[in-house]
Structure 1
């Protein structure tokens, strides 16, 4: 189970709201894992597709905000987004014909580890820097 905590906030409201939504999607996937159903394949793929699509939209939002505020670490931050999406899509492509609870758990663990690490590192730094540059946020 993955629950949003106040300590994850970066201080940019739209980004915090989108992070909360990512946590909700991942939590739904964990709940699916706990369900004792043998036919989770379609639901699993739907959640993974939703997670990738929402992540892309979220990254576009972050990148737009970084560009609008001339964030000095934009290139590095964007590169981490690009690498993450490439790795996740590669894992999902490999798993698409063999999605089971273990594979879903592996994908979710990678997502959670990356998301929390990214929020605590890159996003917190971005939030502090942009808030200091733009007092309107």
Structure 2
């Protein structure tokens, strides 16, 4: 079971918070498709995984612009975390893209959500605190 958005995940920047919430919603949409008993559910999941990759990339670009505008002192290390995550999630998805199963999709979604929540608590909250001082 994936997490549901909770205000405790807010970092204090409305743009970033809205985008984090959207990422969770996209992951929940993919998870919901897993419970369907339709013959084309994996086609639907592929489309949602593509949406998830694209939106994650968009979110990171937005967040990085906010960091630059706020003169965030740890920008390079934070961006590196984003780049590494994008590489890893794209690699995970491409390896199983043509051979999706419920278990591989769950593994991808769990990885994404766990990473995102850890990143929010461990990195984004501190970043927003620094740039809003």
Contact preservation (8 Å) 1:11, 1:131: no
**2-structure distance, mates of 1:40, 1:100:** 10
Matched residue of 1:126: which SS? helix
**1-structure distance, mates of 2:98, 2:31:** 20
Contact preservation (8 Å) 2:70, 2:132: no
CA RMSD of aligned residues (A): 0.9
Unaligned runs of 5+ in 1: 133-137
Partner residue of 1:89?
A: 90
**CA displacement at 1:3 relative to structure 2:** 1.1
Partner residue of 1:74?
A: 75
Partner residue of 2:59?
A: 58
Normalised TM-score (structure 2): 0.95
Matched residue of 1:97: which SS? coil
**When the two structures are aligned, how many residues end up with a matched partner?**
132
Matched residue of 1:49: which SS? helix
Partner residue of 1:25?
A: 26
Alignment of 1:109-128 (within 5 A): 109-128=110-129
Contact preservation (8 Å) 1:10, 1:124: yes
Normalised TM-score (structure 1): 0.93
**2-structure distance, mates of 1:61, 1:106:** 26
Deviation digits for residues 63-117 of structure 1 (CA, Å, limit 9, x no counterpart): 0010111100101100000000000111111001111111101100110110110
**1-structure distance, mates of 2:24, 2:42:** 21
Alignment of 1:89-108 (within 5 A): 89-108=90-109
Partner residue of 1:135?
A: none
List, as ranges, runs of 4+ consecutive aligned residues in structure 1 with deviation greater than 2 Å. Answer: 36-39
**CA displacement at 1:2 relative to structure 2:** 2.6
Deviation digits for residues 9-55 of structure 1 (CA, Å, limit 9, x no counterpart): 00011000111111110111111112223421210110000000000
